[in-house]
């Protein structure tokens, strides 16, 4: 850590350290927390991780893990009304580092593109290495992507437009034809051929995720 404390007496953030950032987005109930818990189980013992989540329900084990620091977001959506709270929470979290990885679970009603813009401000740009956003999509609830009149349609489009990697959750609960139709629809809506990983029971390994993100970086 840096030698001089911040004005509020807390340790300053060391500008020579870079933390890799993974954002997980998806509509409410898509399976974001399940995916995150699977990743936590893979954390190397030599790494320190930080999490920013909208609630710690189901993540109590992570909260007790000395290698993981959990911060709960409050005060509204971190990308909209809660931006000030998010900035303060993130700064306090980073001062508790160094961390090899920061994982942010975006609210189900959040706009990840705005959050990424917030993370890229000059004060944070040298501290964070932001990977493409991971979007979790529930294969059993595809209506927001097919029905233009669905209440969540525009939000689904917004999240899809910000995502680099799509995780199709609960793919084992639908037919191969239904999964193929969903992927074709997502390709049509995004205007590109997205990188897709299919998930059985909410599980996609962190290793597979990072490999897919690495393929995106090379495009």
Which three-class secondary structure string do you get for the chain?
CCCCECCCCCECCCCCCCEEEEEEECCCCCCHHHHHHHHHHCCCCCCCEEEEECCCCCCHHHHHCCCEEEEECCCCCCCCCCHHHHHHHHHHHHHCCCCCEEEEECCCCCCHHHHHHHHCCHHHHCCEEECCEEEEEECCCCHHHHCCCCCCHHHHHHHHHHEEEEEEECHHHCCHHHHHHHHHHHHHHHCCCCEEEECECCECCHHHHHHHHHHHHCC
Q: What is the mean pLDDT of residues 200-219?
A: 83
Between 219 and 45, the more confident residue is 45
Count how many residues are written for the chain. 219
Residue 26 CB partners (closer than 8 Å, separation 6+): 32, 106, 108, 135, 136, 137, 138, 159
Is pLDDT at 15 greater than 90 in this prediction? no
| Dihedral in degrees, nearest 10, Cα atoms 203, 207, 213, 216 | -110
Confidence of residue 53 (pLDDT cuts 50, 70, 90): confident
Confidence of residue 50 (pLDDT cuts 50, 70, 90): very high
pTM for the model: 0.85
Confidence of residue 175 (pLDDT cuts 50, 70, 90): very high
Lowest-confidence region among 16-25, 48-57, 125-134, 189-198: 48-57
**112-170 confidence digits (pLDDT tens):** 888 888 888 888 878 899 999 999 999 999 999 999 999 999 999 999 999 999 999 99
Domains of the chain: 19-217 (3.40.50.300)
At 110 the pLDDT is 78
Closest CA to 74 of 82, 66, 65, 64: 82
At 86 the pLDDT is 80
Is pLDDT at 29 greater than 50 in this prediction? yes
Closest CA to 111 of 143, 148, 86, 138: 86
At 63 the pLDDT is 58
Q: What is the mean pLDDT of residues 64-76?
A: 76
Between 126 and 172, the more confident residue is 172
At 107 the pLDDT is 81
Between 218 and 142, the more confident residue is 142
At 168 the pLDDT is 95
Is 156:182 a contact under the CB 8 Å cutoff? no
């Amino acid at each position: 850590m840096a030698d001089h404390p911040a004005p509020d007496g807390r340790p300053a953030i060391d500008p020579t350290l870079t933390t890799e950032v993974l954002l997980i987005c998806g509509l409410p109930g898509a399976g974001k927390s399940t995916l995150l818990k699977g990743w936590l189980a893979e954390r190397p013992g030599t790494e320190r991780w930080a999490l920013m989540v909208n609630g710690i329900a189901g993540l109590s084990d992570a909260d007790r893990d000395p290698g993981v620091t959990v911060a709960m977001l409050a005060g509204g959506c971190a990308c909209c009304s809660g931006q000030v709270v998010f900035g303060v929470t993130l700064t306090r979290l980073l001062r508790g580092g160094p961390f090899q990885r920061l994982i942010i679970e975006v609210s189900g009603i959040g706009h990840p593109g705005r959050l990424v813009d917030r993370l890229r401000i000059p004060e944070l740009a040298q501290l964070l290495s932001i990977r493409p956003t991971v979007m979790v999509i529930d294969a059993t609830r595809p209506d927001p992507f097919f029905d233009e009149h669905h209440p969540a349609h525009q939000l689904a489009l917004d999240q899809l437009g910000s995502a680099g990697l799509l995780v199709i959750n609960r793919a084992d609960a639908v037919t191969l034809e239904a999964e193929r139709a969903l992927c074709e629809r997502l390709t049509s809506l995004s205007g590109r051929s997205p990188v897709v990983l299919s998930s059985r029971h909410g599980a996609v390994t962190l290793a597979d995720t990072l490999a897919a993100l690495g393929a995106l970086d090379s495009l």
